[in-house]
């Protein structure tokens, strides 16, 4: 049965047959809260919500909560086969996932000043989480079970690095729901808002009267600007993607990068030795990421993407000016690039961006060799 709406626009609960009073221990049955619940049920206030939610009502709810676009997709969708186990573990009984997109301000994301771009990322992250929480609360109030995993962080760090740390793959869900298509840069490109979106998902235990449909075209215009912008060559023209190169640099002040930094602190003999390994600006940047939301080092692939109906105009009008004002300031910025020793990223960064200092790091992916106590003493006294 599809949900109808009450005077407040919420799904109207369907009349239910009187339920038999559950057999309860005398002490529990005498509790005031239990007596109140049973009394409301006896008065007909225990009706269950409709099994199928009206798609139009649900979309209006998402937009009113702060999303710029939203669509639902069944957990039975073939493209979500890899998500079913995780969704059911997070919310047993999940039947539908609601994908929501929240826009970011484009020129903030494009700024060479990473403080501006990171502030935009984090502010939009908060807005998306708030929108998802508002939708979850409305569904709960209507009688459904619902859950909204974080847009980004926090994640399940007790699983890192051997298992996936995200509760639900927002990009996979959004593509299946028809909110966009995965681009060469591994971001979802929305047909209208382009790459300048953050995604969030709500899991719920009901079906929806209509589900989103996958796009029948790719919003990507195949300009390859994301390839040109990536400072560590993580994106190849043929579509290959070097995830390790991307995370080693862009996530330098997250998970593994922090581990690498902590190992550097532990290995340093004294303050002078530490400062010979880590510059003052690097220490200050790590402090900033520890005291406020952590900062991404790049995100340039997203910043230069001209795809999307709302974004494409300036690129079509004057491609040279677009590249001079959007792409080149990021390419010309002097900044440290973090790479694994002997990696393609190291060779690419040195060749393509000789003006950007390149720093070898372990990335924190592998533990250092354990030193014996005797050798450690010899090293320190020599």
Q: What is the pLDDT of residues 74-99, one digit of tens each?
A: 999 999 999 999 999 999 999 999 99
User: Residue 42: inside a domain, yes or no?
Assistant: no
- 256 with 202, same domain: the answer is no
User: Residue 174: inside a domain, yes or no?
Assistant: yes
In the three-class reduction of DSSP (H, G, I as helix; E, B as strand; rest coil), residue 289 is classed as helix
> What's the pLDDT at 353?
98
Distance (Å, whole) CA 25 – CA 92? 28
Q: Answer yes or no: is pLDDT of 376 > 60.
A: no
User: Residue 19: inside a domain, yes or no?
Assistant: no
- 184 with 66, same domain: the answer is yes
Which among 249, 77, 82 is positioned nearest to 177, based on CA atoms?
77
- 59 with 198, same domain: the answer is yes
> What's the pLDDT at 48?
81
Q: Hey, which bits of the chain come out as E strands?
A: 52-53, 69-74, 96-103, 146-147, 181-182, 188-189, 197-204, 207-208, 337-339, 358-360
**Cβ neighbours around 97 below 10 Å, total:** 28
40 token code pair? 């409301």
Q: How confident is the prediction for the chain on average, in pLDDT?
A: 92
pLDDT band for position 21 (50/70/90)?
A: confident
- 295 with 238, same domain: the answer is yes
Which among 88, 69, 54, 65 is positioned nearest to 205, based on CA atoms?
88
User: Residue 87: inside a domain, yes or no?
Assistant: yes
Which among 101, 96, 102 is positioned nearest to 73, based on CA atoms?
96
pLDDT in tens, 330-346: 999 999 999 999 999 99
- 189 with 258, same domain: the answer is no
Distance (Å, whole) CA 223 – CA 211? 32
The conformational region for residue 330 under phi > 0 = left, psi -120 to 50 = alpha, else beta, is alpha
- 231 with 350, same domain: the answer is yes
User: Residue 380: inside a domain, yes or no?
Assistant: no
- 268 with 297, same domain: the answer is yes
In the three-class reduction of DSSP (H, G, I as helix; E, B as strand; rest coil), residue 348 is classed as helix
Sign of CA dihedral 225, 229, 234, 237: positive
| Contact criterion met (CB below 8 Å) for 148 and 200 | yes
User: Residue 70: inside a domain, yes or no?
Assistant: yes
Report the pLDDT averaged over residues 280-302: 95
| Contact criterion met (CB below 8 Å) for 302 and 196 | yes
> What's the pLDDT at 312?
98
Distance (Å, whole) CA 205 – CA 92? 8
> What's the pLDDT at 41?
85
- 81 with 192, same domain: the answer is yes
- 268 with 131, same domain: the answer is no
Q: Answer yes or no: is pLDDT of 20 > 90.
A: no
> What's the pLDDT at 377?
44
- The tally of domains found in the chain comes to 2
Give the structural domain span for 128.
52-208
- 234 with 180, same domain: the answer is no
- What are the C-alpha distances in Å from 237 to residues 158, 241, 348? 35, 9, 14
pLDDT in tens, 255-285: 889 999 999 999 999 999 999 999 999 999 9
Specify the range with the lowest mean pLDDT, choosing from 151-160, 213-222, 365-374: 365-374
> What's the pLDDT at 186?
96
User: Residue 134: inside a domain, yes or no?
Assistant: yes
Distance (Å, whole) CA 296 – CA 230? 13
CATH code: domain of residue 80: 3.40.109
From the CA atom positions of the chain, what is the Rg in Å? 26
| CA distance between the termini of the chain | 80
User: Residue 18: inside a domain, yes or no?
Assistant: no
Q: Please enumerate in sequence order all residues whose Cβ is within 8 A of that of 25, keeping only pairs 6 or more positions apart, or say none.
A: none
Tell me whether strands 146-147 and 52-53 are parallel, antiparallel or unpaired. Answer: unpaired
**Cβ neighbours around 5 below 10 Å, total:** 12
**Cβ neighbours around 335 below 10 Å, total:** 17
- 141 with 189, same domain: the answer is yes
DSSP state for residue 327 in the 8-state scheme: I
Tokens 């709406």 found at: 5
Question: Which of 143, 177, 208 corresponds to the end of one domain?
Answer: 208
- 278 with 325, same domain: the answer is yes
> What's the pLDDT at 88?
98
């Amino acid at each position: 049965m599809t949900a109808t709406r009450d005077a407040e626009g919420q799904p109207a609960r369907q009349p239910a047959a009187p339920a038999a009073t559950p057999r309860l221990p005398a002490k529990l049955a005498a509790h005031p809260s239990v007596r109140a619940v049973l009394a409301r049920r006896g008065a007909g206030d225990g009706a269950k919500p409709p099994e199928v939610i009206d798609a139009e009502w649900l979309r209006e709810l998402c937009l009113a909560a702060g999303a710029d676009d939203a669509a639902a997709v069944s957990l039975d969708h073939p493209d979500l086969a890899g998500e079913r186990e995780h969704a059911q573990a997070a919310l047993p009984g999940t039947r539908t996932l609601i994908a929501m997109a929240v826009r970011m301000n484009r020129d903030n994301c494009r700024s060479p000043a990473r403080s501006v771009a990171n502030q935009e990322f984090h502010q939009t992250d908060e807005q998306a989480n708030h929108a998802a929480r508002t939708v979850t609360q409305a569904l709960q109030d209507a009688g459904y079970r619902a859950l909204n995993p974080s847009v980004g962080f926090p994640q399940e760090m007790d699983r890192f690095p051997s298992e996936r740390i995200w509760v639900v793959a927002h990009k996979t869900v959004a593509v299946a729901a028809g909110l966009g298509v995965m681009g060469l840069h591994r971001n979802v490109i929305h047909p209208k808002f382009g790459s300048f979106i953050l995604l969030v998902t709500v899991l719920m235990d009901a079906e929806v009267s209509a589900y989103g449909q996958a796009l029948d075209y790719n919003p990507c215009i195949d300009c390859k600007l994301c390839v040109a912008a990536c400072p560590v060559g993580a994106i190849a023209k043929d579509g290959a993607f070097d995830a390790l190169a991307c995370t080693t640099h862009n996530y330098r002040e997250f998970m593994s990068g922090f581990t690498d930094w902590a190992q550097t602190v532990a290995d340093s003999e004294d303050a002078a030795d530490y400062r010979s390994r880590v510059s003052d600006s690097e220490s200050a940047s790590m402090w900033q990421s520890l005291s406020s939301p952590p900062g991404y080092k790049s995100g340039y692939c997203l910043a230069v993407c001209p795809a999307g109906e709302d974004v494409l105009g300036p690129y079509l009008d004057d491609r040279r000016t677009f590249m001079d004002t959007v792409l080149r300031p990021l390419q010309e910025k002097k900044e440290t690039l973090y790479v694994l020793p002997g990696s393609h990223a190291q060779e690419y960064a040195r060749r393509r961006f000789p003006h950007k200092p390149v720093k070898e790091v372990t990335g924190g992916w592998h533990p250092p060799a354990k030193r014996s106590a005797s050798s450690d003493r010899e090293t320190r006294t020599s």
